[in-house]
Amino acid sequence: MRKMALYVSSAILAISLGAQANTKKQDLLIKLAPGFVEFQIQGAKVEKLTDSWVRVQAPRHLSLQSLEKNPAVEYVQPNYKISLMEDYTIQDPLRKAALAKMLARNPQLRELAKADNPAIPDAPQSSTGADPLFNKQWGMIDIGVTDAWKITKGNPDMVVAVIDTGVDYTHEDLLPNLWRNSKEIPNNGIDDDNNGYVDDMIGWDFVSNDNKPFDLSVDPMEILFKGGNPGHGTHCAGNVAARGDNNKGIAGVAPNVKIMSLRFISEKGQGTTADAIKAIKYAVDNGAKVMSNSWGSEGEEAGSPENQALRDAVQYAQDKGVLFIAAAGNGHKGVGYDNDTDKAPAYPASYDHDIIVSVAALDVNNNLGSFSNWGAKTVDIGAPGVKVFSTVVEQGYTDTVIDKFGFKATWDGTSMATPHVAGAAALYWSAHPEKTWQDVKAAILGSAKKINSLANKSVSGGKLDVKALMTY
Ligand SMILES: [Ca+2]
Ligand SMILES: [Ca+2]
Ligand SMILES: [Ca+2]
Ligand SMILES: [Ca+2]
């Protein structure tokens, strides 16, 4: 059994009482040595993330070497930043300058971003009827959902965690399929289910630490100039499980399963490893069977130490049997790497945990997206990821991120491919609840349709085929 131990370093105590108490802090993740369950350092803010990891915001002058010598510390690393896979900023400096000029002349071009968290609506009355925009979802048709749905449209008790920028939980086509925490009494200020989160009804917002994981975005001009979130999580959630047959919008791959909304990436498109870990742990501990992860971590580039904290979180998911579907990544490495993640890994997708399914992006002609990573050993399968149609914030549906001022970007990315596979896993598992996660992964890869563009560039050599999957 682990003993309860509290470690306070007297040497550090002396330093922190000095004049530098208000200097900027460094953001660290510390793995506690066996036997230690808590950690304290004078002058540092400590937050427990898991049984063995804590986040420590420590004074700058506290050296890593001194921490590493501390008997309570097994491992120290930075709280690495995490970002969305996609970047919609204008790369051409001339075009960027032209846009700046246009904006200076017409400041009213700037649109307000969604900046508040709306109330979470109650689950709506069910409605029935064909989804009017289904024929715009080339990806759904391509992977054979209509045949798959003859077997099942998904078990309403099957939960997929969308770990991303949050979800527009007021969206008419997502609202009916939100996971609801039945063990929590709403709005009483009490953590009724004792899971560490007060009044968490549909998931959690780890960025703002509130119970409304709304998908906050920045205005299109800011996205073009500086990057940011265009409503990434809402788009991903729609392809997992937009409600089917409700006479509204579209349908996800698994149109009757539930979406758990976990926000850990901000409107700026940035998150931290600490918040990713908390989101993964929340998903695993609160009943998700599948996680959809369309994001990447810094750290672990050539020569840098690894993101051991994130690896441990993925291992925790593996120990509990929760599938970790991950975007293979969009190559930004430049010429020479050729987007091959066997040579230039992208994390978390390239970790060797068996629970991970790494997903490349395909276009309507079975070609790899020009941006898409691939890897004979490190990428598992392809799925629709170019010009993908889905739900967007404020009741919308589109395949276009921005089409303004002569600048156009469509929803392209391994981020968009990943939710298709997450939905497929949930659909198959709904039909075969007795199967293990190993079975589900083997079925997804084994039923993949072989295509030339993924031969020798992926483990399965093919693209997602849910029609074949459901009878595999
Ligand atoms: Ca709770
Ligand atoms: Ca409560
Ligand atoms: Ca929020
Ligand atoms: Ca619908």
Return per-residue pLDDT of the chain as tens, 472 residues. Answer: 333 334 333 333 333 333 344 457 899 999 999 999 889 888 899 999 999 999 999 888 877 778 888 899 999 999 999 998 888 888 888 888 888 888 888 877 777 777 789 999 999 998 999 999 999 999 999 999 999 999 999 999 999 999 999 999 999 999 999 999 999 999 999 999 999 999 999 999 999 999 999 999 988 888 888 889 999 999 999 999 999 999 999 999 999 999 999 999 999 999 999 999 999 999 999 999 999 999 998 766 555 667 999 999 999 999 999 999 999 998 865 445 579 999 888 899 999 999 999 999 999 999 999 999 999 999 999 999 999 999 999 889 999 998 887 888 899 999 999 999 999 999 999 999 999 999 999 999 999 999 999 999 999 999 999 999 999 9
Residue 204 structure tokens? 């959690």
pLDDT at residue 306, as a whole number: 78
- Given a contact cutoff of 8 angstroms between Cβ atoms, the answer to whether 240 and 423 are in contact is yes
User: CATH 3.40.50.200: which residues of the chain?
Assistant: 84-470
Q: How far is the CA of 200 from the centre of ligand 2 (A)?
A: 7
Given the residues 217, 297, 350, 415, select the one marked as catalytic: 415
Ligand 2 centroid to Cα of residue 280, in Å, is: 21
- Tell me the CA–centroid distance for residue 120 and ligand 2, in Å: 14
Ranges of beta strands (E only) in 33-138 are: 45-48, 53-59, 73-78, 81-84
Q: For residue 67, what pLDDT is reported?
A: 85
Q: Two tokens at 174?
A: 């997502």
The question of whether 164 is a catalytic residue gets the answer yes
Indicate which ligand has the atom closest to the C-alpha of 397.
4
Q: How far is the CA of 285 from the centre of ligand 1 (A)?
A: 11
Q: List the structure tokens of 128.
A: 């029935």
Q: Which of 355, 346, 414 is nearest to 386 (CA)?
A: 414
**What is the pLDDT at residue 224?**
87
CATH-assigned architecture of domain 10-79: 2-Layer Sandwich (3.30)
The residue written with tokens 């073009």 in the block is 224
Burial class, 126, CB count within 10 angstroms (exposed 0-12 / middle 13-18 / buried 19+): exposed
Separation of alpha carbons 288 and 321, rounded Å: 10
- CB of 27 closer than 8 Å to CB of 57: yes
Ligand 3 ion: nearby residues, β-carbon < 5 Å: 117, 205, 208, 210, 212
Q: Domain 84-470 belongs to what topology? A: Rossmann fold (3.40.50)
- 171, 232, 235, 420: the active-site residue: 232
Buried (b) or exposed (e) across 78-105, using 16+ Cβ within 10 A?
bbbebbbbbbbebeeeeeeeebeeebee
Indicate where the chain has its CATH 3.30.70 domain(s): 10-79
The bound ligand whose nearest atom lies closest to the alpha carbon of 153 is 4
Q: What is the pLDDT, as a whole number, of residue 332? A: 61
Cα–ligand 4 centroid distance for 402 (angstroms):
23
Q: What is the DSSP string of 314-379?
A: HHHHHHHT-EEEEE--B--S-TTTTTBTTTS--TTTTS--TTEEEEEEE-TTSPBPTTB-B-TTT-
Residue 458: active-site member: no
Number of residues assigned to the chain: 472
Q: Quick one: pLDDT at residue 385?
A: 98
Residue 367: name the closest of 380, 381, 386, 350 by CA. Answer: 386
77 C-alpha to center of ligand 3: Å?
A: 28
Q: Which of 9, 52, 131, 164 is catalytic?
A: 164
Angle at 233 between CA 50 and CA 116, to 5 degrees: 90
The pLDDT of residue 13: 32
Residue 340 is encoded by which pair of tokens?
């091959």
